[in-house]
Structures are given as C-alpha cells and as structure tokens.
Amino acid sequence: MDSLIRFVREQYRTNEFIPLHAPQFFGREREMVLDTIESTFVSSVGSYVDRFEREIAELTGCERAVAVVNGTAGIHVALKLAGVAAGDLVVTQALTFVATCNAINYCNAEPLFIDVDRHTLGLSPKSLEAWLSEHALLDDNGECRTKSEHRRVSACLPMHTFGHPVELDQLISVCNRWNLALIEDAAESLGSYYKGIHTGTFGKIGVLSLNGNKIITTGGGGMLLTNDELGQRAKHLTTTAKLPHPYEFVHDEVGYNYRMPNLNAALGCAQLAQLPIFLKSKRLLANRYIEFFADSDFRPVVEPEHCQSNYWLNAVICPDRSSRDELLKATNDAGVMTRPLWALMSSLQPYKEALKGSLDNSKWLEDRVVNLPSSVLPSGE
C-alpha cells in the first residue's frame, strides 16, 4: 500500500491530507458570486438561474433544464412528474447512495431492489427482465403489477454509478416492454455519454447533483433534465406551484420550495465554464490509475464499452474483503482519503423489508470496491 500512497501524493504534489474529492475554483467563481451580492439578487430571483439552466440544457442536449436545491429534491420531483403514487414500487439498485431511496420514500412509494452489472456498477437490464418475468405481469390497463400482491411497479430509477453509464439500450427495451417510466439518477454523471448522447437525457427525466463533492458544484444544488412540457411542470412544482401575478399569492396545487438560489447558480455558471478542463484532468488521472494497477491483483473500474465516462470518482476492485479493508486502513491512516462503497440499501433499517431480487453482484462489489482520491489535479493539469 505504500506505493499507492506515494503515487497519490505524487499526483497531488503534497504531503498534507488528500481528500477524496474537493471542489476546485480556478475560474470566475469569486467574480460571479460577488456580482450576485452586489446586485442584491441572491435568492430565488436573478439572471444566473436562467443562464445556468440554459447552459446545462445546451451541454446535455435536453429540451429543458430546471435548477433545484439538490439532487434529492430533483429525484423527488422527477418521480412525481413520472406519475409515481403512494403504494407503488419503483425499481432501483441497492448499490446506490441513500438519497435515491429516500426520494422514493418521499412519494410514499417503496424501492424494489434489482442487482447491478459488475462492469457498469449500475442496474442490470438482464436481472430486471428476469425478476419481472418471474414475479410480474401486465394488467388489462397495461400496467406492470406484481403477481403476488398486484402492486403497481410504476418506474425504474437506475444510477450511473461514479459517472459510468448503465446499459441504457437494454434497459430502455425492458422498461418499454413492461411499461415502466425510466428516470435516470444522473447525479454523478455530468459530462458522461452513452453512445455519444449525454446521460440523463434517455429517460422521461434525468437528475444531476451539483453538491460540493461533484465534478462541478453550486455548493448545494441539482438539475432536472427533461422535455419542454415536463420542464414547465417541474418549474411550477419546484417554485411552490405559484401562479404568475404582479402581487397576489395564488397557488393551484401542493408545490415545493425547491428552487435554486441565484447565488448558487452564479457559482455553477463559473464552474460549468471549466468543465472541459475538469473532464480532461479526470481522464488523465484515471489513465494513470489504470497504468499503476496494471500488473497487480487490483482492477480499476473503467468506462463501459461505447461510453465516455466523466470518471467522477475513480474506483478499484480489490481481490477480496480483507484486501479491501487493508487498503482502506493503510491509506486513511496515512492521510490519503479512500472510501468503501455505500452499505447496500437493502441492509439499512428503513429498507430492510423492501422487495428485492438476487443481489449477488451488488454484494460482491460491496466487499471489494474502494474509491480513490479523484479531485481535479493541481492547476487543472
């Protein structure tokens, strides 16, 4: 492990503590944030929110982007817009961050855990098709329901883990056959492409996270990617469902105070201008990790075939649980932050009773995957 620690320190040119993923501010962040302060438009009104939404839409190729306070809020609204109702089941992966499942719970729905593929770390289309074929049916209205309890399975929510796209063509095919609304948890995949098309734009809605640890940040924030019609609905719901009026307060349905402040959007605009530099740096670092581990028993996680990943977090697959634990202890003791995968959602108290298929790959990866320091290299190298 000493050689790995030396290698990481060489990349970041420091003997000080190295975080897993720190934000980098090389551009006009200070200038743009100060501009919002001087304008006094720091909250829900201001030009930077509109600008940031336009620029994200242009980058990703979606018709409409809607800025929100965080990715979790974005997934919550996306599920509502997709028609997820109380009592529904939503297909997702147990290998994910807890926000994915929490957003399902906010809708009074429940997760249905399906296994992942080892090469993408994301929801497996084959595992989903196998589970549905055995346990579900299409009713007279064409809705997918479980055979045992006749519960509606209304949506599918895969995550592009660490920025690596899932097998979207196959997953879309399964969702179409079973009439499931596809919502992409693209929280980690800004700048990632599947067959030349940006992640988050394949399903009904996609959701980005712009948290402080993401490839670009607004401090806290998220973005919905969708079409014009759903985008208008999303904007309405996330701005307290208030009807336009010069001075009256009229709200026509239950809405959410999920809008992104102008202050955060200004930071996002400055960060987005540097995304090409960040992506280039991350790919360079990923290639260096791949070369470093080439002759070892540790296998780096690489972008799937036909994909261009942003390599948000670099990860390595250890030979077994004990070597994983050894790597984690040695690096963290030396001031080089590494992290294991999240505990599987199916093992957490709120979701222990959720329906699930075989999670063999998820458990195998949980025992072996370690995230490595992945910040943009010094000076955007």
The two three-digit tokens of residue 67, written as one number: 């800025």
Helices (H), 82-124: 98-106
pLDDT tens-digit readout, 260-281: 999 999 999 999 999 999 999 9
**Mean pLDDT over residues 34-56, rounded?**
89
> Is 352 a domain residue?
no
> Is 108 a domain residue?
yes
Does residue 319 sit in the same domain as residue 218? no
Does residue 113 sit in the same domain as residue 47? yes
The two three-digit tokens of residue 129, written as one number: 């098709």
Which among 241, 273, 305 is the end of a domain?
273
CA distance 304 to 285: 17
> Is 115 a domain residue?
yes
The two three-digit tokens of residue 375, written as one number: 């910040």
Does residue 266 sit in the same domain as residue 338? no
Using CA atoms, how far residue 18 sits from 22, 277, 351, 378, in Å, is 9, 21, 33, 12
pLDDT tens-digit readout, 315-372: 999 999 999 999 999 999 999 999 999 999 999 999 999 999 999 999 999 999 999 9
Q: Has this prediction a pTM greater than 0.75?
A: yes
Question: What is the maximum alpha-carbon separation in the chain?
Answer: 68
Question: Where on the phi/psi map is residue 40: left (φ > 0), alpha (ψ -120 to 50), or beta?
Answer: left
Helices (H), 40-109: 47-60, 71-81, 98-106
Helix (H, G, I), strand (E, B) or coil at 166: coil
CATH number of the structural domain spanning residue 313? 3.90.1150.10
Number of domains in the chain: 2
pLDDT tens-digit readout, 198-216: 999 999 999 999 999 999 9
Does residue 302 sit in the same domain as residue 190? no
What residues make up the domain containing 362? 2-23+275-345+357-380
Q: Is the dihedral of CA 48, 50, 53, 58 positive or negative?
A: negative
Does residue 73 sit in the same domain as residue 193? yes
Does residue 225 sit in the same domain as residue 140? yes
Please give the mean pLDDT across all residues of the chain. Answer: 96
